[in-house]
Amino acid sequence: MAYAVRRPVENIYLVRERDRRRTRELVGLALAAVPPAVVLFLAIWANVETVRLGYQLANLARMRETLVERKHRLEMDRAQAAALARVEPIARGVLGLVPPTLDQVILVKDAALGSPFVSPPVPKGDAKAPAHAPEKVVP
């Protein structure tokens, strides 16, 4: 039977030399890999950005559709609130308003239209005519 005897290796006298040729090859290989890696990185980034913008566009389209529906509802609510059939009973009943008489109406010239609107002539002897009724055109 043989026993293995372990002997210490005496390589303290060995000195490692750098292989300059292999170092240059390694640096050249690393530098040659940089441009393709940059191109690959830019392609991946462009793809990710395209997907992100697609999601953002879809989100904005949904938001726009929601806002258009809300605008339509608000326009309908405004039309219902301003409807004469709704406003007149409130004005007559709750507020106690009555239609104006002819002597209370004063027509004014609208400069944008260019046609003069003159208040209807009020007879001088009419008892219903107010004392301050104008007979001239108001610019």
pLDDT in tens, 57-79: 999 999 999 999 999 999 999 99
Rounded CA-CA distance 57/37 in Å is 30
In this prediction, residues 25-45 reach a mean pLDDT of 96
pLDDT of residue 117: 54
pLDDT of 114 over the 80 cut? no
Average pLDDT over the chain reads 84
| pTM of the complete model beyond 0.75 | no
CA distances from 133 to 13, 69, 136 (A): 126, 49, 9
pLDDT of residue 139: 47
pLDDT of 129 over the 70 cut? no
Termini Cα distance of the chain: 132
